């Protein structure tokens, strides 16, 4: 059985090959918990029927199936509640004795197992196959027409309420996650891991309880990680403030006199409500603050305390069990279509239960997704890239995966005779070829290309391992050979690819660059280190660093202007800033938050000219012009210094002046796990504090 570490997008061709080999279904969907289920038992979760579109002209058999996997063209036929419960009991091999104690034990196990299996409903709600049911009065106000802060409790995280909010109500709904929610989910994880340790020590555990702890904790943790790492949602995380009810748990004469020594139930719910109450005191009057919960008790208490609950019911068992769910749905407010990829369902179930499987009815053709096992070594980049271990066997995999997972192929950089290897891409000009170095490329060759197109090409190379120039599945389809040379010439110059005929093969260096581009927060040092492998880009940056400023005015000769592609690359790397009608300033300075404070205050004082506030863009450009500090680094150091309590920042919003619209900056952002370059205006004010029009800023050094 072959295996590989993959994310959802990379694995789609693999699932398409499996489903093509079994004639588009039905495929059996199963899950497994490795310490609760006996032997190699799997719990069947229903059948998957793929509904691919008819193939278009010049399209093979596999492409429509792959599109169906990616865009949710499938039906999930779910088992009945009774069947699922019976199969779960059989998988766990629970005791069937009929004495009184055994009957009571079985009743308890039955209730716990039923609660654990309801996590399937929560998983379906989290990915959008089901919607939570809200109060009719709240539905009338959706989608929100004014900014509203929503405080989420643990139920809202685990049962899909927050995923619905992010998917359909953001950005008007501003999300705040109390620290206690993270603590509750972490505590549930600790309970499950304790069960695992007990199992490995003695081999005996309470199987239903361990299953319940597993699905509750891992499903909740994945929801939090997805929220933080794989969406563009801005999430406020509240600190743990002093406990308002600590006297209920400590000895106190006054408390003893009142006979209130008993611990108060629903204590965590109360602290979550206190977070909402505290936030309400910090916002402007009239700004709505809601507490999102699926807990009826907390919802009632929120109403009684004068706050508005964003109350919802999670999906009921009869909405899922025995029903057919479709991967393509309508959005609830505007009737547009949205899709839930089949891989999203498989990933969610794999993390929730530990293992998920899609196979043919005879179980000879199978793909297994594994999220938790004693032998798996988790790393943070697994969560950032949403990587899980995939095992497959019994079917013909895609061409680019043949041989993958069997033995690693050594990464080689073709430096011996790249001219012959890349001949189809190299222009036939002997005089230019004579100038090329032993690496096959001139070190001062400048490559002009669209950076977002280059990022799309890198994505294809990393996902597939290699691409064909003649293929129709890359961002370069239909481009002329001269244009292709710019893209692949740059990649070859940095040893990010090797070229053989019409095939472009990614190297390990490209994978490292791609990881740096996708990281959150951005790994600018890693990106710079990787791009410096391109000699011409390194020369460009060294020249800029030595000159400190390259003039770019209307009178500057065209031949002296910096290359626009390399200038954009330098901007997104934090190495340069272009100020219109002045030039390009080198911004290589790296300073600590403590050193930053004095520089920031000095730049503010010299530019405010008697005013209390200075334009944010003016302050950022002054930091770059006078001190070589890039706006990205200025923003980061300002946030760090503010968090450390050594500087106070105040912002003021207003309508930006259009005369500064040309003062732009290219920044790298990660959307849905894919890096992209966006142009922003420094004077619009939303760069320093995203989501706020902080057009003007005031800085004050905080006294010790």
- Most confident among 424-433, 479-488, 620-629 (mean pLDDT): 620-629
Spatial CA neighbour of 228 closest among 285, 297, 181, 264: 181
Who contacts 628 (Cβ-Cβ below 8 Å, separation ≥6)? 548, 585, 586, 587, 588, 589
Asked if the bond preceding 100 is cis, omega within 30° of 0, the reply is: no
Please report where in the chains the tokens 């520089």 appear, as a residue.
Answer: 599
pLDDT band at 260 (very low <50, low <70, confident <90, very high): very low
Tokens read off for 226: 């997805």
With bands split at pLDDT 50, 70 and 90, how would you rate the model's confidence at 262? very low
Kindly state the average pLDDT of the residues 79-87.
90
Local confidence band at 414 (pLDDT 50, 70, 90 cut-offs): very low
pLDDT surpassing 50 at residue 58: yes
Task: Express as a percent the part of the chain with pLDDT over 70.
Answer: 83
CA angle, residues 349, 353, 358, in degrees to nearest 5: 50
What b/e string do you get for 431-466 counting C-beta neighbours within 10 Å, with b at 16 or more? eeeeeeeebbbbeebbbebbbeebbbbbbbbbbbbb
Confidence grade of residue 418 (pLDDT, cut at 50, 70, 90): very low
The b-or-e profile of 248-277 (16+ CB within 10 A means b, else e) is: beeeeeeeeeeeeeeeeeeebbbbbbbbbb
Q: Which residues contact 253 (CB under 8 A, 6 or more apart)?
A: none
Angle, in degrees to the nearest 10, between helices 508-518 and 451-464: 120
243 pLDDT more than 70: no
- What residues pair up with 359 in beta bridges, in sequence order? 28, 366
* Res. 407: pLDDT tops 70: no
Distance CA 694, CA 261 (A): 50
Reported as a single tens digit per residue, the pLDDT across 520-542 is 778 888 899 999 999 999 999 99
Q: Helix axis angle, 179-202 relative to 207-229, nearest 10°?
A: 140
Q: Are 417 and 14 spatial neighbours (Cβ–Cβ below 8 Å)?
A: no
Q: Phi and psi for 340 in degrees, rounded to 5?
A: -115, 105
Q: Kindly state the average pLDDT of the residues 383-391.
A: 86
State the pTM of this model: 0.59
The residue that leads in pLDDT, 397 or 696, is 696
- Range name among 412-416, 611-615, 662-666 with the lowest pLDDT average: 412-416
Average pLDDT of 655-680? 83
Placement of tokens 């894919």 in the chain: 674
Query: Which of the four pLDDT bands, split at 50, 70 and 90, describes residue 273?
Result: confident
Q: State the pLDDT at residue 406.
A: 46
What's the pLDDT at 355?
93
d(CA 51, CA 63): 13
Reported as half-sphere exposure (CB side, CA atoms, 13 A), residue 329 has a value of 18
The pLDDT tens digits for 421-474 are 233 333 333 333 333 333 345 666 788 888 988 888 888 888 888 877 665 555
> What pLDDT is stored for residue 125 in this prediction?
92
Q: Is the pLDDT of residue 86 over 70?
A: yes
Q: What is the pLDDT of residues 94-147, one digit of tens each?
A: 765 555 566 677 778 888 888 888 889 999 999 999 999 998 889 988 988 888
Q: What does the mean pLDDT of the chain come to?
A: 81
Q: Which residue has the tokens 């680019």?
A: 400
Which residues, at least 6 apart from 624, have a Cβ–Cβ distance to it below 8 Å?
577, 579, 585, 587, 630, 631, 634
Give, as one character, the DSSP assignment of residue 398: -
What is the distance in angstroms between the CA of the first residue and the CA of the last residue of the chain?
63
Q: Which two tokens stand for residue 108?
A: 């308890």
pLDDT at 427: 35
Better-predicted residue by pLDDT, 238 or 98: 238
Q: What is the DSSP letter of 600?
A: H
Give residue 481's pLDDT band: very low, low, confident or very high (50, 70, 90): low
439's tokens: 């690496």
Q: What's the pLDDT at 48?
A: 94
Task: Determine contact, residues 245/264, Cβ cutoff 8 Å.
Answer: yes
The predicted structure's pLDDT at residue 25? 67
Per residue in 197-231, pLDDT (tens digit) is: 888 788 778 888 899 999 989 999 999 888 888 77
Model confidence at 333, pLDDT cuts 50, 70, 90, reads: confident
Residue range 171-191: average pLDDT?
87
Phi–psi pair at 127, nearest 5 degrees: -95, -5
């Amino acid at each position: 059985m072959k295996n590989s570490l993959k994310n959802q997008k990379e694995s789609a061709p693999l699932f398409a090959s499996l489903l093509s080999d079994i004639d588009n279904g039905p495929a059996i969907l199963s899950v497994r918990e490795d310490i609760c289920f006996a032997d190699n038992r799997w719990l069947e979760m229903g059948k998957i029927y793929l509904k691919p579109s008819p193939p278009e002209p010049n399209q093979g058999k596999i492409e429509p199936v792959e599109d169906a996997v990616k865009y949710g063209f499938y039906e999930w036929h779910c088992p009945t509640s009774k069947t699922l419960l019976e199969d779960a009991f059989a998988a766990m091999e629970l005791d069937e004795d009929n004495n009184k104690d055994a009957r009571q034990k079985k009743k308890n196990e039955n209730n716990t197992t039923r609660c654990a299996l309801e996590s399937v409903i929560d998983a379906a709600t989290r990915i959008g196959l089901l919607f939570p049911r809200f109060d009719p009065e709240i539905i009338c106000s959706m989608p929100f027409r004014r900014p509203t802060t929503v405080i989420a409790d643990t139920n809202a995280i685990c049962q899909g309420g927050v995923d619905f909010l992010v998917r359909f109500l953001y950005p008007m709904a501003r999300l705040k996650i109390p620290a206690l929610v993270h603590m509750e989910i972490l505590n549930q994880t600790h309970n499950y891991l304790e069960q695992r340790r007990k199992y490995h020590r003695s081999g005996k555990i309470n199987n239903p309880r361990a299953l319940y702890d597993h699905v509750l904790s891992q499903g909740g943790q994945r929801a939090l990680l997805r929220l933080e790492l794989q969406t563009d949602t801005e999430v406020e995380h509240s600190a743990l403030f002093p406990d308002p009810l600590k006297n209920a748990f400590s000895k106190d004469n006054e408390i003893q006199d009142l006979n209130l020594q008993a611990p108060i139930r629903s204590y965590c719910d109360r602290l979550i409500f206190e977070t909402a109450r505290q936030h309400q005191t910090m916002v402007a009057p009239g700004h709505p603050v809601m507490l999102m919960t699926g807990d009826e008790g907390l919802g009632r208490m929120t109403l009684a305390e004068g706050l508005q609950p964003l109350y919802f019911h999670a999906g009921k068992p009869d909405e899922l069990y025995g029903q057919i769910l479709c991967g393509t749905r309508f959005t609830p407010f505007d009737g547009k279509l949205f899709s839930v990829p089949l891989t999203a369902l498989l990933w969610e179930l794999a993390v929730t239960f530990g293992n998920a499987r899609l196979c043919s009815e005879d179980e000879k053709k199978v793909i297994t997704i594994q999220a938790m096992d004693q032998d798996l070594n988790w790393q943070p980049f697994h969560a950032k890239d949403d990587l899980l271990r995939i095992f497959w066997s019994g079917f013909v995999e895609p061409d680019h995966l043949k041989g993958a997972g069997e033995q690693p192929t050594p990464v080689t950089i073709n430096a011996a005779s790249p001219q012959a290897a890349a001949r189809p891409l190299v222009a036939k000009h002997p005089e230019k070829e004579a100038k090329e170095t032993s690496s096959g490329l001139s070190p001062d060759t400048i490559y002009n290309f669209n950076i977002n197109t280059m990022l799309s090409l890198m994505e294809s190379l990393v996902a597939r391992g290699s691409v064909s120039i003649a293929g129709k599945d890359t961002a370069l389809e239909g481009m002329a050979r001269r244009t292709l040379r710019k893209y692949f010439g740059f990649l070859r110059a940095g040893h990010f690819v090797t070229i053989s005929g019409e095939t472009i093969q990614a190297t390990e260096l490209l994978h490292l660059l791609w990881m740096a581009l996708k990281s959150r927060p951005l790994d600018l040092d890693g990106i710079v280190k990787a791009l410096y492998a391109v000699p011409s880009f390194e020369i460009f940056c060294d020249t800029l660093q030595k000159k400190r400023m390259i003039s770019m005015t209307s009178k500057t000769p065209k031949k002296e202007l910096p290359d626009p592609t390399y200038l954009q690359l330098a901007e997104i790397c934090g190495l340069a800033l272009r100020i219109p009608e002045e030039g390009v300033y080198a911004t290589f300075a790296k300073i600590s938050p403590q050193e930053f404070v004095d520089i920031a205050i000095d730049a503010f004082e010299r530019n405010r000219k008697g005013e209390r506030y200075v334009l944010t863009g003016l302050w950022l450009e002054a930091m770059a012009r006078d001190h070589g500090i890039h706006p990205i680094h200025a923003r980061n150091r300002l946030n760090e210094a503010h968090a450390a309590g050594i500087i106070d920042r105040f912002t003021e919003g207003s309508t930006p002046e259009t005369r500064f619209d040309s003062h732009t900056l290219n920044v790298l952002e990660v959307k849905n796990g894919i890096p992209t370059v966006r142009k922003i205006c420094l004077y619009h004010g939303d760069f320093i504090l995203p989501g706020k029009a902080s057009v003007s800023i005031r800085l004050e050094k905080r006294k010790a």
